[in-house]
Chains A and B, each alone.
Chain A
Amino acid sequence: MAGNYSTQTLVVTIAHAELCKPDAQNAFKVRISIKTALGDNAYAWDANEEYLFRAMVAFAMRRYSSKSTTQISNVLLCNVTDRVSFWFVVTDSSKNVTTVPGSEVEAAIRMNRNRINNAFLLSDKTLQFLKITSTLSPPVEPSTPVWIIVFGVVLCLIVAGIIFLIFSGIQKHKKKNKESTERENLEEKVEVTLENGIPCEALDVKAGHINGVFAADDERFTSL
């Protein structure tokens, strides 16, 4: 009986080695970069982590095919390196010594990628399944591009500035016009009263001495 058991385990071990080896059919390589992801908080990769991995893969298979036949013992790991990288296969317990087709495993992992990543505190880049590509998340785009909003604000400020300046210019112009007409009236009065200190009305134009210098510029003054 004991002999049978040991032969059984021997057979299983041989089968294990047959099914799970680098580049075996339906086997996937996994590469884990814990230090890159976690830095100082990195944990060491040991047998317990391996057990968790096998459990997650089994969980993924169960969830995908929604039949509870996959056991943790169905997931085989081999060739663990210091990197950390290893190969794994999922065996089918219903059929003897065969592996679940790669496409199924791939689909299962894809569906549950997020859960698997989170179990190890890693991401798509630091927990790599080498043959399984991850779908890229689209970049976030707001409904109205931000630049249009900023542009609108800037343009409003500029237009407000221009209108303000134009109006203040028009007002200044009007004020200057009003001032200059007032000044002209004032100057006329001043001119009239301050001709050599003698008011013009007092001057008798016919009797007075006509100054030739001013005679030439007569047309500049309004007629008295």
Chain B
Amino acid sequence: MSQDLSATPETPEEDGRPKWDNKFQYILSCIGFAVGLGNVWRFPYLCQIHGGGAFLIPYFIALLFEGIPLLHLELALGQCLRKGSIGAWNTISPYLGGVGVGSWMVSILVSLYYNTVLTWVMWYLINSFQEPLPWSVCPLNENRTGFNEECYESTAVNYFWYRKTLNITPDIAESGTLQWWLILCLAACWAIVYLCTIRGIETTGKAIYVTAIFPYLVLTIFLIQGLTLPGATEGLIYLFTPNVMVTWFEEADPGDIIEKSSEDGSSDVLIYKCGKADATAWGCLKLNTLKNPRVWLDAATQIFFSLSLAFGGLIAFASYNPTKNDCEKDAVTVAIVNSMTSLYASIPVFSVLGFKATTAYWDCLDRNIISIINEFDLPEESIMRQNYTSWISFLNSSYPEKIGGLNLKSCDLQEFLDQSVSGTGLAFIVFTQAIILMPGSQAWAILFFIMLFSLGLSSMFGNIEGVFTPLLELQIIPKSAPKELLSGIICLISFLIALCFTLRSGSYWIDIFDRYAGSVPLLVIAFFEVIGVVYIYKIKRFSEDVEWMTGRKLNLFWQITWRFISPLLLLIVFMAFVTLQMQKPPSYTAWNPKYEGFPMKEEKVYPPWVQAICVLLAALPCVWVPLVALFHLVKQKRRSKSPSFVPPEVFSCQGANSNFSHPKE
């Protein structure tokens, strides 16, 4: 086969593969895929519980040594091989084909539950057009003598989320029925996804201009508005200053290190170290960042999941690029924009949370003031928030029994600020409550939920692309059939499967999918990706390919990180992650109105059959890696015995792209 490279000029690829309209569309799609709901509701929470500004240090170190190298690897891979994840890994080595299949499977599992979260966002969005907002008032009970009991004991916001939206059961084993309003919203969401991904990147490329840029506009609006709210500065100061909170634990002795789980029932653990504060007092200080290994783990996992690595979507996006494209610059750009967005988003989030905490604190004070005024028949406005403490101490000394009889709640702003929530709780409970308190709440609610919807939708594009591109290349449907058919089939089947999440126990299942399918398999796949490229494809070949694509020599930094640092980091993170998950029995918190601690959520353990499903979800994508390798090993052994055995051709990035028209030998 003649490979006369000097004779053929560098023509642009004309293999009929779709391509991006322009570079900006490609970058924007990658950014949209990476920037998702987690940037708004996971990163600020991590910042808060790990001591604010100091969390940024492990975060940026993880970005530098784990995030950017892995991102560069995926983009370079996709750009060089010009195939989706399954095809790309099959090309690198048939033994590594399982990595591609694993990515593809993870993309499917994540698409299923991610779109259901978008369903909830859409439900809240269409309910935001109502005046007054439906989550601001409690409905009355049957005989109209008071408010609905479940609503009254918790809050109107909680009631709307758990009862009116999810209609949740008290236990995961009780599935309940399908909720028709959620089915409608789910159908609408999948229809929107179909509309945008109908012809692959031709249509998502146009849609991404809106869905990727709009959230930034809304974040800016919220930033401006948030900073004008009272209490915003308290929230921001709280976010960015390291926590030096002194707590008292009765069971602790000086020198102890105590672990307590955070109150919102998530798996996060706060670590305190007890010692002497001064000569007479001792207390337990929240262990600060860099000494706490948990913080490094959280930083590493946050960076990894935030950049949407190992989904196969980035490989698919990069495969539509021209090969002569600077993937190094792209990777650095996307990663930095993603992190900056997280930081930028945390400012309005914390302004609003600070506002909410301050309002709650003022409400607490006002309630106490009213009780005191009513009890002592003092004139109105004699006790204001400012002189509350002096009045309380005066009254306590003169009439301690009366004050004791009032059962006044202690109002502490710090306590309100400490109520940290992440995930759906932040968006659907805490934020919605804060929005009720703002003037013009409908407009803010609509803006907020449209923003969440766009953020999620642009991530969905990447997920769907990770499913769509490999299927298109495998030619599941005949070539004459239009692409619209394949995307329609994908969306329809996904919609039907995702109906399970509209059951009453659906949100428990989504938590399971999030925790097991969307975490461990990604780490495994990313690890094999790096190992596969560096040690099987060989780093020398790869750096030549990258050099050919970018036009300059591969920096030593990439060599070191790809060869040693990133695989090592991934291995450590994987071990730590799995160890932490195994340490406590897999449990969940359930919303049970009949629980005696209601409105606190009830802690329950997963029944064995659910645990089996968890293991299955985590193992299913990973198991393809050894299975496919084994399959090819067996095939190879059989083939090597036959006389017409031809060794497989050595693939090269440059070779493939200048000589694609020549048939393979």
Binding site for B on A (CB under 8 A): 31, 33-36, 81-85, 135-136, 138-139, 145-147, 150-151, 154-155, 158-159, 161-162, 165-166, 169-170, 173
Contact = CB atoms under 8 A, between A and B. Distances in A.
Contacts of B194: 162
B378 interface: yes
Contacts, number: 74
A161 B146 CA distance: 47
Contacts of B139: 139
Contacts of B482: 169-170, 173
What 8 A-B pairs come out closest when comparing CB atoms? Answer: A81-B377, A82-B379, A83-B377, A150-B126, A146-B130, A147-B126, A35-B380, A158-B191
Given A146-B130, A162-B194, A169 B377 contact: no
Nearest to A85: B377
B484 interface: yes
Contact of A165 (B187, B203, B374): B203
Given A138-B140, A146-B130, A147-B127, A158 B378 contact: no
Given A147-B127, A158-B191, A136 B184 contact: no
23 contacts: A31-B374, A36-B380, A83-B373, A83-B377, A83-B378, A85-B374, A136-B147, A139-B137, A145-B130, A146-B129, A146-B130, A147-B123, A147-B126, A147-B127, A147-B129, A147-B130, A154-B188, A155-B188, A158-B191, A162-B194, A162-B198, A165-B203, A173-B482
Contacts of A138: 140, 144
Contact of B379 (A83, A145, A146, A155): A83
A198 B129 CA distance: 75
A154 to B, nearest CB: 6
B199 A165 contact: yes
Contact of B126 (A84, A151, A170): A151
Interface string B134-164: 0001011000111100000000000000000
B140 A166 contact: no
A101 to B, nearest CB: 23
A173 B482 CA distance: 8
B314 interface: no
Contacts of B192: 158
B40 interface: no
Interface in B101-137: 123, 126-127, 129-130, 137
B304 to A, nearest CB: 34
Given A151-B126, A162-B194, 13 more contacts: A82-B378, A84-B379, A85-B374, A136-B144, A136-B147, A139-B139, A139-B140, A147-B129, A161-B195, A165-B198, A165-B199, A165-B203, A169-B198
A154 B484 contact: no
B185 interface: yes
A83 B195 contact: no
A79 to B, nearest CB: 9
Interface in B222-268: none
Contacts of A166: 198, 484
B interface, how many residues as a size bin?
20 to 34
Contacts of B185: 151
Given A83-B379, A161-B195, A154 B374 contact: no
A165 B196 CA distance: 10
B381 interface: yes
Which of A33, A135, A151 has its CB near the most chain B CB atoms (within 10 A)?
A151
Contact of B195 (A81, A145, A162): A162
A72 to B, nearest CB: 25
A145 B145 CA distance: 24
Contacts of B145: 136
Interface in B151-207: 184-185, 187-188, 191-192, 194-195, 198-199, 203
Interface in B637-651: none
Contact of B191 (A34, A145, A155): A155
A33 B188 contact: no
A81 B195 CA distance: 69
A138 B140 CA distance: 7
A129 to B, nearest CB: 14
A150 B123 CA distance: 10
B452 to A, nearest CB: 16
A82 B373 CA distance: 10
A35 B203 CA distance: 60
Contacts of B140: 136, 138-139
Nearest to A155: B188
A85 to B, nearest CB: 6
A162 B184 CA distance: 17
Contacts of B130: 145-147
A23 B3 CA distance: 107
B381 A35 contact: yes
Interface in B457-508: 482, 484
Contacts of B137: 139
